[in-house]
Structure 1
Amino acid sequence: MPETFAASSAVQLAVVERSGFVESRHVGSAIVLSPDGDVRDTLGDVETPILPRSSLKPVQALAMLAAGAPLEGERLGMATASHSGTDRHVGVVREMLGSAGLDESSLRCPPAWPGDTSSRDAMVRAGEEPARVRMNCSGKHAAMLLTCVTNGWPIDTYLSPDHPLQVQIREVTERLTGQRVASIAIDGCGAPVFAMGLHALAKAVHRIGTSSERSPFALHRSGGALVRAVKDDPWTIDGPGRPDTLAVSRLGVFAKGGAEGVMVMVAPNGTTVALKTLDGSGRAATAVAAMLLERAGALPSDTVAALLTELPLRVTGGGADVGVIRPAF
């Protein structure tokens, strides 16, 4: 059975302190690429495959652009998002579906409550039920359906690994990583997700994050447009007060977290981080990625320190702050 790297190949990435006592440790692996794409630093095993989960979304969105999907601005940001399901997010998803002549019944992601607490509370008060359009991957799924309609591909089977859309995504993934997909799994939203090492994931995201809209190559122009869309509208990629949106807004980075403790982040100068915490917890991932970029000289210390105060890193006891979740370096 395919499997990710072992605990013996991991290193300590973060610790949880409570009242001066180190209560928990998050181990994992990480890689830092220089602005030119060379390996600058590695922590742990960065070659054994992982499942990048939603950190693959920038690659998936780029593949849809390459297939001719009419995505730009907020719609392109939503195609890359793990959004919090606010009414604003849902409005863009419905617009995307409407432009394809579809509605939310065509979505194949599972019904879900929004991640945004106030939006969920409002739905409960209104007697509403979990909905596919509220699921955090609905933007990606709406973009997938729009890509299918644009190309005349079937929509009922758009999540099948052998569907033309998923074949297109796999081919672009392999082009960006420079290697064959190690194996295919089914993500939480029902879409295929491709296994790859952190080094391969970092290469793919670095190529997107350093792309220019003025490039002579269409794929690079699309990559530049994708990054600009997210930076212009950081709310699309995640949601108010949430880690990816905060990182993009405060640091000017391109960031995309994934389930099971995966994170990719590209600094404005092109320095790139990809990491995975082995226990699957993502609570320290944004902080660790930002600190790795700071350590590489790609982000100013004061800006990173300010971000850390906004992230949900506080440890409480009796209603008071008694500790913190912090990077272990």
Structure 2
Amino acid sequence: MQTFTADSAEELAVVSRSDFVESRHIGSAVIVDPRGAVVASIGAPEEPVFVRSCLKPLQAIACMELGVPLSGDAAVVASASHRAEADHVSVVKNMLSSVNLSEDDLQCPSCAPADADNRAAMRMSGMAESRLFFNCSGKHAAFLMAQKIAGGRPEDYLRPDSLVQKQVRKTVEEFCGEAPAAAGIDGCGAPVYALSLPGLARGIAAAASEKNESAQQLMTAVLASPWAIEGHGRENSVVIERLGILAKKGAEGVSVMATPDGWAAAVKVLDGSSRPASLVALRLLAAAGAVNMEAALGVLSDIAPRVTGGADEHGRALDAGEVLPGAGLLAAESALTAARPDNPAGTSSDNQTMSQADTAEQH
């Protein structure tokens, strides 16, 4: 089995340098409304993709369903792809100690902190790389807690037939409304599933719109501590903090965002690049009226990957271009804007496709 090919992908974004398009990102994307209906799509969104860390909110909910008392920062870190800031590491340690387990029980890889300050502190102190610093350590801690609380052997927590992984699959199917098309091993060693993009969008929309008590507890925690899902000033954390929506990216160019009232957009960049994923998801939500366009564009301007060239007199890199919507995204935006109830009668959908600057000025 494999994911979709370039033949069925569409252009999601382009990279412009000095007004010359030097790169094109292709892939698939979809947006669903609060009923779960697909309202716009790009490429081949029904083809399965490994959803990678986009699955983490559902994995955290599965742990809660097994009786893990996740709340506050611990609930968010269980859903996180964190940077191993000092507070992330402290939360993971406390999660493990709450069930008399330790770092030694984690089965994710060891690494240095991604957070620069904590990495520098580690080197200054001579501390070794640690499983606690791995970006998925919070998820693994939650798995261990769930496995132990449910009465299973903690050392079996990554086995697909373990109590916790059976609950994860059950939760995924319940929230996403589909069975995984394939299963594999994620970068952290946990089971990972291939889903359609509409299925992923519906699942995260159900989490964001508080489908059950566990989802409600998770969403409350995420909105209260957005820093914990990635890190201070980091992409997903900024989106959550400023727009009040659930945002989760995964490896290999997968990303999903969902609003508390049940809109959701999911993206897969075919070559695995994460560079355009947030741009695509946020602009789809904004074009549908699910989030404010001006606010979305403001966030994108702050989190967008820079296209640089040269330096100023202090050696600081200068901007030489930007990442812009591609043809497939622009077409989907135009269709979404034209279909909105607040679209003035007789307005051409072509005229509804605006540049980022034009959009910002008109709001």
Query: What TM-score bracket applies, with the shorter chain setting the length?
Result: over 0.9
Cα deviation per residue 1:21-73 (whole Å; 9 max; x = unaligned)?
Answer: 11111111111011222211111111111000000011111111111111111
State the partner residue of 1:177.
Answer: 176
- The answer to whether structure 1 residue 228 and structure 2 residue 220 are counterparts is yes
* Secondary structure at 1:156 match in 2: helix
Whether 1:258 and 2:263 are equivalent positions in the alignment is no
Cα–Cα, structure 1 residues 43 and 222, in superposed 2: closer, same or farther, change >3 Å? same
Asked whether the equivalents of residues 240 and 247 of structure 2 are also in contact (C-alpha less than 8 Å), the reply is: yes
The structural deviation recorded for 1:305 is: 1.7
How do residues 72-151 of structure 1 correspond to structure 2 at under 5 angstroms?
72-151=71-150
Contact 1:12 1:27 in 2 (8 A): yes
Letter in 1 for 2:299: L
Question: How far does residue 162 in structure 1 lie from its aligned partner after superposition?
Answer: 1.3
User: Which residue in the other structure is 2:161 paired with?
Assistant: 162
Question: Is the CA contact (8 Å cut-off) linking 1:77 and 1:229 kept in structure 2?
Answer: yes
Q: Give the corresponding residue for 1:327.
A: 325
Matched position secondary structure for 1:169: helix
Counterpart of 1:233, as a letter, is S
Q: Residues 268, 70 of structure 1: CA spacing in aligned structure 2 closer, same or farther, 3 A cutoff?
A: closer
Give the conservation status (yes or no) of the 8 Å contact 2:29–2:266. Answer: yes
Separation in 1, partners of 2:265, 2:2: 22
Unpaired stretches in structure 1, ≥5 consecutive residues: 213-219
Cα RMSD (Å): 1.2
Gaps of 5+ in 2: 311-316, 331-363
Question: Whole-Å Cα distance in 1 between the matches of residues 69 and 242 of structure 2?
Answer: 29
Deviation at 1:228, TM superposition (A): 1.2
Q: How does 1:309-324 map to 2 (within 5 A)?
A: 309-318=301-310, 319-324=317-322
Structure 2 counterpart of 1:276, which letter? K
Partners of 2:299 and 2:68 in 1: CA distance: 34
Assess if the C-alpha contact under 8 Å between 2:208 and 2:261 holds in 1. Answer: no
Quick check: which has more Rg, 1 or 2?
2
Q: Does the 8 A contact of 1:247 with 1:286 survive in 2?
A: no
Q: Is the 8 A contact 1:15 1:24 kept in 2?
A: yes
User: Measured at CA, do residues 268 and 204 of structure 1 come closer, stay the same or move farther in structure 2, by a change above 3 Å?
Assistant: closer
Q: Which residue of 2 aligns with 1:288?
A: 280
Is residue 83–residue 136 contact of structure 1 (8 Å, CA) maintained in 2?
yes
Read off the aligned partner of 1:168 and give its amino acid letter. Q
Shift of residue 309 of structure 1? 2.0
Say which is worse superposed, 30-39 or 83-92, in terms of deviation: 30-39
| SS of alignment partner, residue 152 of structure 1 | coil
- 8 Å contact kept, 1:313–1:326: no
Checking the alignment, whether the CA contact within 8 Å between 1:186 and 1:192 is kept in structure 2 is: yes
Instruction: Determine if contact 2:76/2:228 at 8 Å carries over to the other structure.
Output: yes
Q: Which residue of 2 aligns with 1:307?
A: 299
Does residue 41 of the first structure (1) align with residue 13 of the second (2)? no
TM-score, length-normalised on structure 1? 0.95
How many percent identity over aligned positions? 44
Task: Quote the residue 1:237 is aligned against.
Answer: 229
Deviations 1:253-308 (A, max 9, x none): 11111110111101243211011100101122112211111111111122112112
